[in-house]
Amino acid sequence: MRNTGQQESLEDDAIDAHRAYLQALLAWERTTHEASCPICGSKTMSVEAHKSAIVAAEAHKEACRVRFRDLVDQLGYVPRRDDLALPDERYSPACGSRAN
């Protein structure tokens, strides 16, 4: 059994990992949206550059998800914190449509 300090530290790490995963998920959604949206998309990026950006964003999202999952597995439960919420709206598409 872990002592309370170790438990709290692991909870804090899991909560930070969850926050990082949410941010990575939203960044990935925005990247995929921008690749196909005529309003939000970059006129200067090539199709290949968009594909590369999507692959990189998805890899980062998956790395964050795995880190969160591994910490939750170590902890044995999903910690809850009331101040955890989705990141601000700067991650929303500029065109006003849904991200995906």
pTM of structure: 0.79
Q: How many CB atoms sit inside 10 A of residue 77's CB?
A: 9
Which sequence spans correspond to the domains of the chain?
Answer: 8-80
Along the 100 residues of the chain, how does pLDDT read in single tens digits? 456 888 899 999 999 999 999 999 999 998 998 888 888 777 778 889 999 999 999 999 999 999 999 999 999 999 887 766 666 655 555 566 654 4
Cα–Cα nearest to 22, from 93, 85, 94, 100:
85
What would the pLDDT profile of 6-31 be if each residue is shown by its tens digit?
889 999 999 999 999 999 999 999 89
